[in-house]
Structure 1
Amino acid sequence: MNNRKLLKYHSWFGLIAGLFFILMGISGSILIFHDELDKKIFSEFQNEAFTEEPKLDISTKLVQKKYPGWDTRIKEWDNGQIIYDVRHGQKRRYVFTDPETGMILKDLNANSHFTAWLLKLHYSLHSGITGRISILVAGIVFLLSLITGTILYRKSIFKTLTFQVKIRATNKRNFYSGLHRYVGSWALIFNMVIVLTGIILAYSVAKAGLNPRKEYNGPLIDTSIEAALNGIEKEIPQFQPTYIRLPLEKGAGIIVYGDFKTDFFLFSEFYNQVKIDETKGNILSINRIASADFLTRLNSVVMPLHYAEFGGLPVKILYALVGLTGPFLSITGFILWWRRPKRSKNFRKTAI
């Protein structure tokens, strides 16, 4: 394939995916800091003076009484606050309880919460299954744009990375072309990682949308979650619980997710599972990502790689900046396409 045809494909792929990735890039760069944003927003429900064991049993009974049968998850129970994420169909609530008394402090509509709303925009455009599939297709098209761009500029990528290629400002098109090439080259590897992991996640989201969950009616918990966590601490001292999901049906068990101290830093916490009997509180099973097959371990790193869930604040800042290169490349690519040299009518007649 000659460069002229390759440039044509590269341009069209970029134009098709451009509008999506202006939206995806900006929303994704903000979502990188969702933990920090939520911590700031939720700080008013935090009891900073409380340092003892939180009253999880009392608060769980109150939350389940208020939302019987709902899919109940405990996403935070340290740092002076307990936060529940409860879901039923399209409904979703954040329930905040006092760690000292277990009493409910606040009940918010999670669907209108800023980061939750932005995340839904990011993966579905708030358009249901149509939006989910659109994001998946846009991701694939953007990947094709990256691949064609890499092939097209393969001979100049190294020179660009080593600043041997100058940005010519003789006219606007040359100037934007230089910027497009520099930003595209420097962000290439990170954009490949973000787009590839994004496609995998978008596929999972679209697949889940095409296969709605069956009806459920979560049972009331009879056992002590506090005692179960203490039991985990004694029996599995190297395990750090981070997230708890209550059963959707009897016998399903309480699932405690978390990290093992010896895990590879890119492994997702949600691939480590300690299953607790919801009636007796004893440990039923332990699933470690480190002991899983290669494909499962590979799949485990997708979410941390996409959301920069490693390396702390410096990596998040880097990801946020790289996330903005997508919109930048889309805009400069559109300018280059708009200012492309146009053949005259006489030239076309001669060619025919």
Structure 2
Amino acid sequence: MQIASPPAMPDDGTSVASRNYRILWRWHFYAGLFVMPFLMVLAITGAIYVFKPQIENLLYRDMLHVAASGQPRLAYGKLLGIVAGALPADAAPTSVSVSADPSRSTEAVFRLPSGDSTSVYLNPYSGQLLGTLSVEHRLMKQVRQIHRDLLLGRWGGWLMELAACWTLIMVGTGIALWWPRKRFSVRGKLLPRLGLRGRAVWRELHLVAGIWVSIGALFFILSGLPWSSFWGKNFQAVVTWAGASQPKVVAKAPPAQDMAAMEDMSSMKMQDLPLANVPWAVGATTVPQSHDMQQQALNIDQVVEIAARKGMATYQLALPGKSSGVFTASYAPGAGEFVRSDLDSQRTLHIDQYSGKIVKDLRFSDYNPVSKLVTLGVALHMGEYFGLANQLLCAAISLALLGMAVTGFVMWWLRRPQDSLGAPKRVAQPPPSIVRWKSYMALLGIIFPLMGVSMIAVWLGDTLFFRKRA
């Protein structure tokens, strides 16, 4: 995956291999030129975020942990009351962490009158306030948002998605440029020849490291795209619509007189709930409503008891925001204290806030094969599936990708002509055999529409503005 010049090839003429090579090199150059700054951001933020549990434990240890005690914990309702008394009068509770770990503090999230949310940490045994953290502005949340959208919202998300898609082109064309055309040699192809000097040694490191890291790069792209702003959102909607996640338990339909009160909740999705981590497979599913609004609403401690009887001990509990809302208990990988992900325990439980009935119960076993595969990919992508080894592997791939971007830039800088971009020479008469590569790229453009539009723009620019330089 190189941005600078490979070994010299003959100019256009009768050599089909030469023209194919130069066309691929040109696309590789443009892909690298666009991807390089975004790839550096993705690599750095990814390498940091994968160690989120350790970093947050280091930064906020006094808030996240307490001395384990044999005495009973205070009721969650009482803990929420303590927090409410310390916050502005209009602050409203939105979620609470429930943990079976005796050394874990209790986190209560409140929405403030300003619209922001704050996490308040308490000692579950004494009710002592341990500290507060902004939900939106805490360090690792910012790192994640930079990784996803550069803190630019939807447009930033689209840019990062484009960068990920163009990395597919960079990897594919890079492998094609690396592919041996004559006799295969381990030295120079799988192992670098470190006796080289100058730009040649940078090229060798880039070439060899690129082929080794290409598998990891492809995995990162394909496992990260389901979370992307455009393609990922639509892919998730299609998978959900196709019945990817079927509820194990569904309550009866509500009485007709309750329908009007539920209209304001009918379009709420799981990803709209005030939960730090929502399983991808259920993110686009509709949040059900409570059906028995004539009864007295349950308190939070009654709901925790119901969830415990259903086998849930550690989870985040989203509180109903409206009279027709439900309590939602959700366990997902990466929820703060989970360094190792137990996918089989992933679960979403919706509880009627009046009757306590289970409205919907979704488990990992209920997901279809696509959702299971994406869930596994996400856990591996975020370093959560097999503990520290998974984190170290992800960080190593991220840093290797950063090295690819740096070596590519150095090679380009060393060979760039004065007052010129230094793009490979354009091929005036592409050989018929290049059609196969055009088909591959067209297929990618169809699968990833944002990428397809950008490829058309690049092709038009290359055709209209650089034709005379061929």
Q: TM-score range by the shorter chain?
A: 0.7 to 0.9
AA aligned opposite 1:82: T
What secondary structure does 1:19 align onto?
helix
Contact 1:59 1:103 in 2 (8 A): no
Deviation at 1:96, TM superposition (A): 0.9
Tell whether 2:309 aligns with 1:234: yes
Deviation at 1:181, TM superposition (A): 2.0
Deviation at 1:86, TM superposition (A): 4.0
Query: Equivalents in 1 of 2:147, 2:354: separation in Å?
Result: 39
What secondary structure does 1:203 align onto?
coil
Distance 1:294 1:204, change over 3 A: farther
Partner of 1:252: 325
Contact 2:105 2:121 in 1 (8 A): yes
Query: Equivalents in 2 of 1:243, 1:314: separation in Å?
Result: 26
AA aligned opposite 1:57: G
Deviation at 1:13, TM superposition (A): 0.8
Query: Equivalents in 2 of 1:148, 1:268: separation in Å?
Result: 38
What secondary structure does 1:111 align onto?
coil
Partner of 1:334: 409
AA aligned opposite 1:229: V
AA aligned opposite 1:8: R
Q: Within 5 Å, which residues of 2 pair with 1:110-121?
A: 110-121=135-146
What secondary structure does 1:284 align onto?
strand
Query: Equivalents in 2 of 1:134, 1:83: separation in Å?
Result: 34
Tell whether 2:171 aligns with 1:98: no
Partner of 1:309: 384
Deviation at 1:81, TM superposition (A): 0.3
Contact 1:276 1:283 in 2 (8 A): yes
Distance 1:42 1:291, change over 3 A: same
Distance 1:2 1:205, change over 3 A: closer
Query: Equivalents in 1 of 2:24, 2:107: separation in Å?
Result: 51
Query: Equivalents in 1 of 2:356, 2:187: separation in Å?
Result: 57
Partner of 2:68: 49
Query: Equivalents in 2 of 1:97, 1:204: separation in Å?
Result: 38
Tell whether 2:78 aligns with 1:58: yes
Distance 1:287 1:9, change over 3 A: same
Partner of 1:36: 54
Partner of 1:19: 37
Partner of 2:209: 183
Deviation at 1:176, TM superposition (A): 1.0
What secondary structure does 1:108 align onto?
strand
In terms of Rg, which structure is larger?
2
What secondary structure does 1:143 align onto?
helix
* TM-score, scaled relative to structure 2: 0.61
Query: Equivalents in 2 of 1:123, 1:328: separation in Å?
Result: 21
What secondary structure does 1:151 align onto?
helix
Deviation at 1:29, TM superposition (A): 0.4
Contact 1:253 1:276 in 2 (8 A): yes
- Say which is worse superposed, 143-152 or 198-207, in terms of deviation: 198-207
* TM-score, scaled relative to structure 1: 0.80
Contact 2:188 2:208 in 1 (8 A): no
- Say which is worse superposed, 288-297 or 174-183, in terms of deviation: 288-297
What secondary structure does 2:228 align onto?
helix
- Say which is worse superposed, 63-72 or 275-284, in terms of deviation: 63-72
- Compute the RMSD of aligned alpha carbons: 3.7
Contact 1:268 1:304 in 2 (8 A): no
Unaligned runs of 5+ in 1: none
Partner of 1:203: 229
Contact 2:328 2:351 in 1 (8 A): yes
Query: Equivalents in 1 of 2:162, 2:273: separation in Å?
Result: 35
Aligned residues: 332
Deviation at 1:69, TM superposition (A): 7.1
Identity %: 19
- Say which is worse superposed, 6-15 or 275-284, in terms of deviation: 275-284
Deviation at 1:226, TM superposition (A): 3.7
Partner of 2:432: none
Query: Equivalents in 1 of 2:162, 2:212: separation in Å?
Result: 25
Unaligned runs of 5+ in 2: 1-18, 235-266, 275-289, 291-295, 334-340, 419-424, 426-468
Tell whether 2:298 aligns with 1:274: no
Contact 2:189 2:207 in 1 (8 A): no
Partner of 1:9: 27
What secondary structure does 1:99 align onto?
coil
> Structure 1 or 2: larger helix share?
1
Contact 2:344 2:365 in 1 (8 A): no
